């Protein structure tokens, strides 16, 4: 047996002997697609703030819709997979949120993108989008199981509800933002921990 054939044979035997937790397979695409839409909608809210089409208060209200969707995704992932009925309900909720974003973008209420309050909300919404993107990446690569992704979506829902609560009066104070950032830092660590804990989609 040639050396090259021996090396290939040894590699294949070694790979087959790897424990199941070390072998990664793509997760349910429905989960990743739903999360990708969360990313897109958060980016649309952020863009609305940046171009002055959305006020801080409007963005806070829209974050409540995002929290509702995240909680639905969390509930759907509890059993390890998203059913067709659950996917349809989530898609309908995302459609309603999309229409709400369009409505608020095109009404007569405008925001000041250069105000301190808007800048704070812009930073928080962009971080929401970034953390959703990290969850979506984990779902696509298999480094996050559906159950893990569901737990992380529950954390996203909490953060979004906090933004809704703190921005409900139409502005975010520096103290509000520090509170939100603390929660987002905890969520970021949870995402990192679950993506690197050795538990992957089979």
Each residue's pLDDT tens digit, 147-183: 999 999 999 999 999 999 999 999 999 999 999 999 9
CA atoms in the 13 A half-sphere facing the CB of 71: 11
CB atoms within 10 A of CB 108: 4
Does the pLDDT at position 11 exceed 70? no
> How do residues 176-195 score in pLDDT, each as one tens digit?
999 999 999 999 999 999 99
Higher-confidence residue of 42 and 31: namely: 42
Over residues 74-93, the pLDDT tens digits come to 999 988 888 999 999 999 99
Reported as a pLDDT band with limits 50, 70 and 90, residue 3 is low
**Could you write out the DSSP letters of every residue in 66-96?**
HHHHHHHHHHHTTTSS--HHHHHHHHHHHHH
Helix axes 146-167, 116-141, angle to 10 degrees: 170
Inform me whether the pLDDT recorded for 117 exceeds 60. Answer: yes
State mean pLDDT over 26-33: 72
């Amino acid at each position: 047996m040639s050396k090259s054939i021996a090396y290939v044979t040894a590699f294949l035997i070694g790979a087959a002997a790897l424990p199941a937790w070390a072998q990664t397979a793509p997760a349910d695409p429905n989960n990743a697609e739903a999360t990708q839409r969360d990313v897109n909608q958060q980016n649309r809210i952020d863009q609305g703030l940046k171009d002055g089409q959305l006020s801080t208060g409007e963005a806070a209200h829209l974050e409540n819709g995002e929290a509702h969707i995240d909680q639905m995704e969390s509930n759907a992932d509890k059993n390890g997979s998203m059913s067709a009925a659950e996917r349809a309900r989530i898609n309908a909720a995302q459609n309603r949120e999309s229409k709400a974003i369009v409505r608020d973008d095109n009404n007569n209420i405008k925001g000041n993108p250069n105000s301190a309050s808007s800048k704070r909300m812009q930073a928080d919404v962009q971080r929401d989008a970034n953390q959703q993107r990290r969850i979506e990446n984990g779902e696509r690569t298999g480094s996050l199981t559906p159950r893990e992704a569901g737990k992380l979506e529950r954390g996203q829902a909490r953060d979004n509800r906090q933004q809704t609560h703190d921005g409900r009066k139409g502005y975010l104070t520096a103290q509000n933002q520090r509170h939100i950032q603390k929660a987002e830092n905890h969520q970021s660590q949870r995402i990192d921990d679950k993506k690197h804990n050795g538990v992957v989609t089979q």
